[in-house]
A and B are shown apart, each in its own frame.
Chain A
Amino acid sequence: MKLARYRPRDTVDFVVIGSGAAGGVVAKELSTQGFSVVVLEQGPYLREKDFAHDELKTFRQGVLINDWEKQPNTFRKSPEEKAMRQPAVFYGRQVGGGTVHYTANLWRFHEVDFEERSRWGTVAGASLEDWPVRYSDLEPYYTKVEQELGVSGEAGLSPFDPPRSQPYPLPPLPVKRCGAIFERVTRQMGLHPFPAPLAILSQPYRGRAACTQCAFCKSFGCEVRAKSSTLATVIPVAEGTGRCEIRSGCYVRKIETNADGRVTGAIYFDGRGREVMQKARAVVLCANGAESPRLLLLSRSSRFPDGLANSSGLVGAYFMVDTGVSVRGMFERPLNDHKGPHVSRVIHDYYDSDAKRGFWGGGGIDARFDWYPINFALDGMPGDVPRWGAGYKAALKEYFPRSMSLLAHSTCLPVESNRIDLDPDLKDAWGLPALRMTYRNHPDDLKVLHFLKDRATEILEAAGAKKIWSRKIEELTFTGHLMGTCRMGNDAARSVVDRNHRAHDVRNLFVVDGSSFVTCGRQQPTCTIHALAYRAADSMAAAARKGEI
């Protein structure tokens, strides 16, 4: 296989910025459809041999995520405050992006997720809108995600699932003990548990091995390639075309434009800190819900003084995050659930909003064990266990094998003042303005959390947990699900990209990733990011073939 290598002065068809959930898919689709592609990824190109079962190294060094020393964030709750330096967003920073180290819950959004405004109306203090695409527009692409990447699950068990044209290509992974308990109890309660759809192979698939049931999914890379990351799936296909170059270690600082207002390429710092400009006929920005708006704002010019593609003033606005609440239970007998993928059963009975509850929003609840020894010992037990000594040691021994969590993954409303933008003072290690996050949960977000916490607690009580605990519900200040900052929409005054992800203001610029979301779904955004990317790439390719870019 001859790998494509382009010179920066060669004008390639597409530069793709970021190689995560969206970027990997876009690169594969465009290159297999015959276009020349350069993917610029700031992180390293890691291989399976680089993924170690080493909790200390993975967390302490943050090997797979962004580094707040070099790329600091600032945070504030409201636009009146001065933002203070603190970690605010985290994401996978390597070829494959967040799909390398994520937990791999990969379920489709429901029909309601695309039409919240028409179904519910407005919510004071928020901008609840319909998407310019519907579930039916995405259905063929969701199918493509499941088939091409490899997703394990079982269709037809949840009465709340949206319609689908094909079953999952792989059967569900084995149930965990916490999943079996959850399934039995929720069924007794009249609820509808079903196997968690996971981007993890339950059987060998398309030349990749099945999951070996080790303990290391969340926050780790999979060394047997059973996790269906873009690194293990579509990126090798893109490279195999001989038309797609994955250029890692390239931190893009600006999308360049000319006097006609067209994009001409991207300027990046290479591994040695030199500035390089890669020329391209079009740019596809896939740097995620936090870095994509930041890069558009960094790309200001005399023609685009407020940042690129920002005539609406909404680049960075409507930032949405991973609201959720974890309720934990400890049982009389050991569950020994640390092996295998973390999640095995889910319910969607509380997914839709319900006017009777008196607030907008809902969510799913899954049963999981996603702890590792060190973080469990430091953070996983209730506040009333002793902190040291014989009592602490005994608790550790009792709790680790006997605990499970119910994670409620829920909604957060799009609020205009919740934003990602540039910090006016702080700079990163390359001298670029740091990412600033302004965020305060809408009151309804917290009401949903209280509601779901009560539901999860009921389930653990019915399951006979010996001890049940959870953290206090608080406004969120740190997030790993990054959504909504370059909204899709038909109205150029109220959104950043159109229904095909083309920037309203710039004909040959596309933005597709978590930033495209209009509303948040019920967390687990990645399946929808993949599907949007497949759909966007199709329409970009069609437009390019017709000379309409």
Chain B
Amino acid sequence: MEMAWLAQKHAHQARTSNKPLKFKALSVEEAAVVETIAEGILPADTTPGAKEAGVVWFIDLALSSFDRARRQAYREGVAAFEAKRRELFPSSLSMAALAPADVARLIGAMETTPFFEIVREHTITGFLANPEYGGNRGEAGWKLIGFSL
């Protein structure tokens, strides 16, 4: 029952702690890159996207629990995305600072990589999993598709 427990713990911390949540598996820099990719997969428009729904928190939870095995893939994948960013947009300072259209261009250049598949699966999963797992905040994902428990 490891997963349910983790989800509860996460939800409990988010509710009770006045300290900001800390990432467990990702560094702050990696988290910023992952969050930008996730937002590119499910962007905000008139409804919340991956960022507002907290998908990066879900991914961090996954990488520190049931998907620990994919930590290394993230480490390398994030670096590869960063390298591609510098190649395509040499004057850019960070992923998070790219305009949405540039993020889309970058993802387009990376969409056939196995790492992108992993992030895509994680992003979609987090966005639509039970909110306790951190990535479907305010049931943003469920509201989009008209689902309720």
Are A373 and B141 also in contact (CB < 8 A) when A60-B66, A334-B146, A388-B120 are?
yes
- Which one of A53, A389, A400 contacts B146 once the chains associate, using CB atoms below 8 Å? A400
User: Is there a chain A Cβ closer than 8 Å to B133's Cβ?
Assistant: yes
B130 / chain A contacts, CB cutoff of 8 Å: 53-56
Pick the most buried of B2, B121, B127, B146: most chain A CB atoms within 10 A of its CB.
Answer: B146
B2 / chain A contacts, CB cutoff of 8 Å: 61
B window 42-75: CB within 8 A of A: 42-43, 45, 47, 49, 66
Least distance between B131 CB and chain A CB atoms (Å): 11
Smallest Cβ-Cβ distance to A400: which chain B residue: B145
Q: How far is the CA of A396 from the CA of B147 in the complex (A)?
A: 12
Q: How far is the CA of A118 from the CA of B3 in the complex (A)?
A: 54
* Cβ A214 vs Cβ B149 within 8 A: yes
* Cβ A61 vs Cβ B41 within 8 A: no
Q: How far is the CA of A215 from the CA of B111 in the complex (A)?
A: 33
* Cβ A377 vs Cβ B128 within 8 A: yes
* Cβ A401 vs Cβ B146 within 8 A: yes
How would residues 377 to 415 of chain A score, 1 for a CB under 8 Å from any chain B CB and 0 otherwise?
A: 110000000011110110011001100000000000000
Least distance between A223 CB and chain B CB atoms (Å): 12
* Cβ A397 vs Cβ B120 within 8 A: no
* Cβ A374 vs Cβ B146 within 8 A: no
Least distance between B106 CB and chain A CB atoms (Å): 12
- Which one of B120, B133, B145 contacts A396 once the chains associate, using CB atoms below 8 Å? B145
Q: How far is the CA of A52 from the CA of B49 in the complex (A)?
A: 26
Smallest Cβ-Cβ distance to A397: which chain B residue: B144
A56 / chain B contacts, CB cutoff of 8 Å: 3, 125, 129-130, 133
- Which one of B4, B111, B145 contacts A401 once the chains associate, using CB atoms below 8 Å? B145
B125 / chain A contacts, CB cutoff of 8 Å: 56, 374, 378
User: Is there a chain B Cβ closer than 8 Å to A471's Cβ?
Assistant: no
Q: How far is the CA of A396 from the CA of B123 in the complex (A)?
A: 14
User: Is there a chain B Cβ closer than 8 Å to A274's Cβ?
Assistant: no
A window 32-74: CB within 8 A of B: 52-57, 60-61
Are A389 and B40 also in contact (CB < 8 A) when A373-B128, A396-B144 are?
yes
A57 / chain B contacts, CB cutoff of 8 Å: 3-4
User: Is there a chain A Cβ closer than 8 Å to B115's Cβ?
Assistant: no
Q: How far is the CA of A338 from the CA of B144 in the complex (A)?
A: 14
User: Is there a chain B Cβ closer than 8 Å to A336's Cβ?
Assistant: yes
Are A387 and B146 also in contact (CB < 8 A) when A56-B3, A60-B3, A392-B42 are?
no
Smallest Cβ-Cβ distance to A54: which chain B residue: B130
A window 173-214: CB within 8 A of B: 214
B141 / chain A contacts, CB cutoff of 8 Å: 373
* Cβ B45 vs Cβ A393 within 8 A: yes
Q: How far is the CA of A374 from the CA of B130 in the complex (A)?
A: 10
Q: Which bracket fits the contact residues of B?
A: 20 to 34
Least distance between B116 CB and chain A CB atoms (Å): 8
* Cβ A374 vs Cβ B3 within 8 A: no
Least distance between A217 CB and chain B CB atoms (Å): 14
Least distance between B112 CB and chain A CB atoms (Å): 10
* Cβ B4 vs Cβ A390 within 8 A: no
Least distance between B107 CB and chain A CB atoms (Å): 7
* Cβ B107 vs Cβ A389 within 8 A: yes
* Cβ B128 vs Cβ A374 within 8 A: yes
Q: How far is the CA of A219 from the CA of B133 in the complex (A)?
A: 20
Are A397 and B145 also in contact (CB < 8 A) when A388-B40, A390-B45, A392-B41 are?
yes
B3 / chain A contacts, CB cutoff of 8 Å: 54, 56-57, 60-61
A393 / chain B contacts, CB cutoff of 8 Å: 42-43, 45, 49, 144
Pick the most buried of A61, A387, A388, A393: most chain B CB atoms within 10 A of its CB.
Answer: A388
A52 / chain B contacts, CB cutoff of 8 Å: 4
How would residues 1 to 40 of chain B score, 1 for a CB under 8 Å from any chain A CB and 0 otherwise?
A: 0111000000000000000000000000000000000001
B104 / chain A contacts, CB cutoff of 8 Å: 389
B window 72-106: CB within 8 A of A: 104
Q: How far is the CA of A393 from the CA of B121 in the complex (A)?
A: 14
* Cβ A389 vs Cβ B145 within 8 A: no
Are A388 and B129 also in contact (CB < 8 A) when A374-B124, A400-B145 are?
no
* Cβ B147 vs Cβ A338 within 8 A: yes
Are A388 and B142 also in contact (CB < 8 A) when A54-B4, A56-B125, A61-B66 are?
no
Smallest Cβ-Cβ distance to A216: which chain B residue: B149
Smallest Cβ-Cβ distance to B127: which chain A residue: A377
A60 / chain B contacts, CB cutoff of 8 Å: 3, 66
Least distance between B132 CB and chain A CB atoms (Å): 8
B128 / chain A contacts, CB cutoff of 8 Å: 55, 373-374, 377
B111 / chain A contacts, CB cutoff of 8 Å: 387-388
B146 / chain A contacts, CB cutoff of 8 Å: 334, 336, 338, 400-401
Smallest Cβ-Cβ distance to B43: which chain A residue: A390
A388 / chain B contacts, CB cutoff of 8 Å: 40-42, 107, 111, 120
* Cβ B120 vs Cβ A387 within 8 A: yes
Pick the most buried of B47, B107, B141, B144: most chain A CB atoms within 10 A of its CB.
Answer: B144
* Cβ B41 vs Cβ A389 within 8 A: yes
Q: How far is the CA of A214 from the CA of B47 in the complex (A)?
A: 26
Q: How far is the CA of A417 from the CA of B48 in the complex (A)?
A: 54
Least distance between B121 CB and chain A CB atoms (Å): 7
A396 / chain B contacts, CB cutoff of 8 Å: 144-145
Least distance between B142 CB and chain A CB atoms (Å): 6
Q: How far is the CA of A57 from the CA of B133 in the complex (A)?
A: 10
Q: How far is the CA of A536 from the CA of B126 in the complex (A)?
A: 48
Q: How far is the CA of A376 from the CA of B125 in the complex (A)?
A: 10
A401 / chain B contacts, CB cutoff of 8 Å: 145-146
Q: How far is the CA of A60 from the CA of B6 in the complex (A)?
A: 14
B47 / chain A contacts, CB cutoff of 8 Å: 397
Least distance between A69 CB and chain B CB atoms (Å): 12
* Cβ A378 vs Cβ B145 within 8 A: no
The 8 A-B residue pairs with the shortest CB-CB distance in the complex, in nearest-first order = A400-B145, A373-B128, A56-B129, A388-B41, A401-B146, A374-B128, A377-B124, A57-B3
Question: Can you list 5 A-B contacts with CB-CB less than 8 angstroms, sorted by A residue number?
Answer: A52-B4, A54-B4, A388-B40, A389-B107, A393-B144
Residues on B lying within 8 angstroms of A by beta carbon are 2-4, 40-43, 45, 47, 49, 66, 104, 107, 111, 120-121, 124-125, 127-130, 133, 141-142, 144-147, 149
**With contacts A54-B3, A54-B4, A377-B124 known, what are 5 further pairs, Cβ within 8 A?**
A56-B125, A338-B147, A373-B128, A373-B147, A387-B111
